[in-house]
Structure 1
Amino acid sequence: MNITLIFTNAPYAVFIVVGLLGLIVGSFLNVVIYRLPIMMKREWRVQCIQLLTDEAGNNSNHFWNTRFLKKLGASKRQLRKIFRATSLKPSVPLHNNPFNLSRPRSHCPHCGHQITVLENIPIASFIWQRGKCTACHQAISIRYPLIEALSAILAIIIAWHFGFGWQLAFALVLTWALLAASIIDFNHQLLPDNITLPLLWLGLLCNSFGLYTSLEESLIGAIVGYLVLWSVYWLFKLATGKEGMGYGDFKLLAMLGAWLGWQAVPMILFISSLAGAVVGISLILLRGHDKNVPIPFGPYLASAGWISLLWGETLTAFF
C-alpha cells in the first residue's frame, strides 16, 4: 500500500499523524529546553576553571595582577578562592556524573522519583496525574503540557499549509527548532549554537534542492541576516557603549535567511522589531519593567521567521 497515496487522498490522516508526532517531539523539546542551558553553563564553568588554571601555570608569579583581574571582572579575593578550590585536584573532572539530553533519566525535581513510561505520555500523563508527581504529590509545571500542545498545534498548521511532502518534513524540523530556541532565549537569554548553526546548514542543504528558495538566495540570506544585526549591534554599541543584543540573534537571523532567502530578511526584521517594541513599551508602561533590563529578542525573530515561512509571500505582496 502506497503511503504517499494514502496521505494525498486523505489529508486528515496527515494532520493526525503530524499532530501525534508533534506531541512526542514536544515532550522531547521539554528535555532540550530544560537541559541544554544547564549543559552549556556546565561547559562554560569547566572552561573558566581551565582558563584560571592555565593562567596560573603561565603566570605563576603574576597571576593576581590587576590587568588579569580586570579582564575576568572578579575581585582578587574571589579569584583566589576559585583558584584554591580548583587547583587542589586538577586531574579530577568537575562533574563525575554525566548530564546530557539522555542521561540521567527524567525525574521529579522535588523528590528525585524517576519518571516511568506511563508517566511520560504527552499531555495524557499530566491529566491522569492531575498535575502532580505520583511519588511526592508536588505540582508539575504546566509548562510541560503547554509546550507539547503548542508543538502539536504548530505541526498541524505546517501540515495544513504545505501538505504531504519534503517541504512539510523539513518545515517541521525548523518549527520545532524555533520553538525550543525561543523558550530557551526567553528563560535564559541564550540562543544555543547547538540549535542555530546546524539548522543554518540544514537550510542551505534544503535550498540546494530548491525546497523553499534558490541556493543563491539562501546563501545571500544567511550573509545578509548575520550582517544586518551585526551592524546594528556595533552602531548601538559605538553610540551608547552598551550591547543592544547578543551574537545569538545574528546567527538566528542568518539561519532564517538561509531557509527563506534574503527577500524574507526585511519582513522578519519588521515584524520582530514591531512586536518587540510593542511588548517592550507595554511592559515598561503597564508593569513598570526596568528599561535597562534586556528583553530577549530571539522569540520575536523566531516568531517572525515562522510567520514568513508560511505567509511571507502574501505579506510581502501586501506591503
Structure 2
Amino acid sequence: MGVDIWAEPAIAGVLGLLLGSFLNVVIHRLPKMMEHQWAQEHAAFAADVDVHAPPTASTEKKTFNLWTPRSRCPSCGHVVQWYENIPVLSYLFLRGRCSACHVRISARYPLVEILTAALFAFCVHQWGLTPTGLAWCGFSAALVALAFIDWDTTLLPDDITLPLLWAGLLASAGRWIDVPLLASVTGAAAGYLSLWLVYWAFKLATGKEGMGYGDFKLFAALGAWFGWQALVPIILMSSVIGALVGIGLKIFNNLREGGYVPFGPFLVGAGLTAMVFGPNAILQTVLSLFGL
C-alpha cells in the first residue's frame, strides 16, 4: 500500500529530472534566440530588407534553436554525448567537469534538474496523475525556466509567460484547478494592471523604469492560476524576499551593474510557495515577519 502511494510521485520525479535537463537548454538558449531575432530584425530594418523573406546565400546562417545544434562545452566545443547528458548522474560521474577539457560545469545544471523533479513529485503526490496534477507540473516547469532566465538576462520571454497565462485560464475553465473562471480572468487582468500602474507611477516620479513588461505578464499569469484573491499575498511575499535578497547582495557587493535586481525570480518563488502551501499561508507568513 505504501509503495503504491509513492509510485506515481516517483515516476513524476523521474520525468521531472528529464524535463529539468531540457529546461537547462531552454534557460541557456531561449534568450540567445531572442537576441538573434532582434539583431536580425534590426539589421533587416536598417537595410530595408523583408525579415520574413526566404534566406539567401548571404543572409542564411547556421540553425540555432532549442534542438539544433547539439549541446557543446562552451569552453572547448566538445559535443556532449548522450551518456554525458543523463540528469544528475552524468554530473556526478564526471565530477562536475567537462570530459574533454576538464573545465568545471556549473552546479546549477543538476540543481535545476533536482528542483524540477521535486516539484513534479510534489504535484503528483498532492493531486495524483490527473489533469490537475499535470497542470501544476506544467506550471512549475514554466516558473523554473522563467526564474533562471530572468536572473541571468533580466528577460521574461513572451514565449513562456503568455502560454502560462492562457494555460491558467484554460485550467480554470476546465476545472482542473480550484479557481473559478471569473476569479481567474479577474486575477489575470488585475495582476497585469496593478504592476502596470506601479510601473508608470514609478517612471513618472523618478524618470526611470522600475521593472519590465515581462513582470506584468508573469503576475497576470499567477493571477490566472490562483485568482485575484491571491495577488496581494503573492506580491507581498515577493517584495519582502526581493528586498532581503537585494540588501544581502548590496552588503556583499554582488549587485550587477546598475544595481538592478530582477523581480521575476521573487514572483516565481512566491508563486511556487502559493502552490505548495496556499496563498493564505503566504499572507500569514509575511504578516508574522512584521509581528502582525
The verdict on a shared fold, with TM-score over 0.5 as the criterion, is yes
Mark the structure with the bigger radius of gyration. Answer: 1
Within-5 A mapping of 1:114-263: 114-212=79-177, 213-263=179-229
- Residue 311 of structure 1 pairs with residue 277 of structure 2: yes
Per-residue Cα deviation, 1:136-175 (whole angstroms, up to 9, x for no partner): 3222222211111111122223233333422110101010
Does the C-alpha gap of structure 1 residues 192 and 113 become closer, same or farther in structure 2, counting only changes over 3 Å? same
Match in the other structure for 1:62: none
Match in the other structure for 1:16: 10
Residue 184 of structure 1 contacts residue 191 of structure 1 at CA under 8 Å; is this kept in 2? yes
SS in structure 1 at match of 2:69: coil
Match in the other structure for 1:40: 34
Partners of 1:195 and 1:155 lie apart in 2 by: 18
Instruction: Give how far 1:28 is off.
Output: 0.3
SS in structure 1 at match of 2:228: coil
Residue 195 of structure 2 contacts residue 216 of structure 2 at CA under 8 Å; is this kept in 1? yes
Residue 255 of structure 2 contacts residue 261 of structure 2 at CA under 8 Å; is this kept in 1? no
Instruction: Give how far 1:9 is off.
Output: 8.1
**Identical aligned pairs, as a percentage?**
46
Residue 280 of structure 1 contacts residue 295 of structure 1 at CA under 8 Å; is this kept in 2? yes
Partners of 2:206 and 2:105 lie apart in 1 by: 43
Instruction: Give how far 1:116 is off.
Output: 1.6
Task: Tell which deviates more after alignment, 290-299 or 189-198.
Answer: 290-299
Match in the other structure for 1:75: none
Task: Tell which deviates more after alignment, 223-232 or 274-283.
Answer: 274-283
Per-residue Cα deviation, 1:70-118 (whole angstroms, up to 9, x for no partner): xxxxxxxxxxxxxxxxxxxx95565510000000011222222222211
Match in the other structure for 1:273: 239
Letter in 2 for 1:232: V
Gaps of 5+ in 2: 288-292
Residue 222 of structure 1 contacts residue 257 of structure 1 at CA under 8 Å; is this kept in 2? yes
Partners of 1:14 and 1:107 lie apart in 2 by: 34
TM-score for both structures, normalised by structure 1? 0.82
Per-residue Cα deviation, 1:231-273 (whole angstroms, up to 9, x for no partner): 0000000000000000000000011111111111111111101
Partners of 1:283 and 1:112 lie apart in 2 by: 33
Instruction: Give how far 1:30 is off.
Output: 0.5
Instruction: Give how far 1:48 is off.
Output: 1.0
Partners of 1:235 and 1:303 lie apart in 2 by: 25
Instruction: Give how far 1:23 is off.
Output: 0.7
Task: Tell which deviates more after alignment, 10-19 or 104-113.
Answer: 104-113
Partners of 1:186 and 1:242 lie apart in 2 by: 20
Aligned residues: 280
Per-residue Cα deviation, 1:186-221 (whole angstroms, up to 9, x for no partner): 000000001000111111111002222011111111
SS in structure 2 at match of 1:263: helix
Letter in 1 for 2:38: W
Residue 11 of structure 1 contacts residue 163 of structure 1 at CA under 8 Å; is this kept in 2? no
Does the C-alpha gap of structure 1 residues 242 and 317 become closer, same or farther in structure 2, counting only changes over 3 Å? closer
Partners of 1:18 and 1:290 lie apart in 2 by: 37
Residue 284 of structure 1 contacts residue 291 of structure 1 at CA under 8 Å; is this kept in 2? no
Residue 233 of structure 2 contacts residue 280 of structure 2 at CA under 8 Å; is this kept in 1? no
Instruction: Give how far 1:316 is off.
Output: 6.5
SS in structure 1 at match of 2:48: helix
Match in the other structure for 1:111: 76
Residue 164 of structure 2 contacts residue 221 of structure 2 at CA under 8 Å; is this kept in 1? yes
Partners of 2:25 and 2:258 lie apart in 1 by: 31
Gaps of 5+ in 1: 1-5, 58-89
Residue 159 of structure 1 contacts residue 168 of structure 1 at CA under 8 Å; is this kept in 2? yes
TM-score for both structures, normalised by structure 2? 0.89
Partners of 2:186 and 2:111 lie apart in 1 by: 36
